[in-house]
Amino acid sequence: MAKGFRLSIYSEEKTIYEGQIISLTAPSVSGYLGVLADHAPLAARLKPGEITFKDLSGKAASIAMQSEGYLEVLHNKATILL
């Protein structure tokens, strides 16, 4: 079984997602970023596009971003602010 990490996605109005996942792909201004467990610390500016991730059971989900945001990866936790 793949090792998981925590993903939290927040907008100004609400919490969009919180849970354990095994992979994350997000659209940064430099191109799409892929994140797995034990990823090196990372901070990136995100551009509009699609955030995709797989939960621990392997089920894929996606969220369409209409505006810019920020991604931080630190200590097996990814946080996205929209």
What number of other Cβ atoms are within 10 A of residue 72's Cβ?
14
Alpha-carbon distances of 23 from 28, 35, 49, 67, 78, rounded to whole Å: 16, 6, 17, 22, 10
pLDDT, tens digit (0-9, with 9 covering 90-100), for 63-74:
999 999 999 999
The CATH number linked to 34 is 2.60.15.10
| Confidence class for position 1, pLDDT limits 50, 70, 90 | low
Count of domains for the chain? 1
pLDDT, tens digit (0-9, with 9 covering 90-100), for 34-64:
999 999 999 999 999 999 999 999 999 999 9
Return the bridge partners of 25, or none.
Answer: 34, 52
Instruction: Please give the pLDDT value at position 46.
Output: 98
What is the C-alpha separation between 16 and 62, in angstroms, rounded?
11
Alpha-carbon distances of 74 from 18, 28, 40, 42, rounded to whole Å: 15, 17, 7, 7
What is the C-alpha separation between 60 and 41, in angstroms, rounded?
24
- Domain boundaries, position 76: 5-81
Instruction: Please give the pLDDT value at position 56.
Output: 94
